[in-house]
């Protein structure tokens, strides 16, 4: 992998399975609730944001791993 942690491309193996996301931490912002999540299986991470708590969060970053 090359680049800074924020721009690294995930390994090809990370895209082989459906990720099971675990919330590592979360906080409220002006954009909604930001969640830092990690795949329980492969450890890849991403950042999600939910504009309204009742809405399923959507990824706002690429998967990092």
Tokens standing for residue 2 = 């090359």
CA 53 remoteness from chain centre: 17
| 14 touches 42 (CB < 8 A) | yes
Show me where the domains of the chain are located.
Answer: 21-59
pLDDT higher than 50, residue 19: yes
Report field, pTM of the whole predicted structure over 0.85: no
State whether residue 13 is helix, strand or coil: helix
Q: Determine how many CB atoms are found less than 10 A away from the CB of residue 44.
A: 20
The Cα–Cα gap between 23 and 28 comes to 14
pLDDT higher than 50, residue 1: no
Q: Mean pLDDT in the chain?
A: 76
Mean pLDDT of 41-57: 81
User: Which carries the bigger pLDDT value, residue 60 or residue 10?
Assistant: 60
CA 52 remoteness from chain centre: 17
């Amino acid at each position: 992998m090359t680049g800074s942690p924020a721009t690294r491309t995930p390994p090809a193996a990370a895209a082989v399975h459906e990720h099971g996301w675990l919330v590592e931490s979360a906080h409220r912002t002006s954009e909604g609730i930001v969640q830092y999540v990690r795949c329980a299986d492969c450890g890849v991470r991403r950042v999600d944001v939910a504009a309204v708590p009742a809405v399923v969060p959507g990824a706002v970053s690429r998967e990092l791993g």
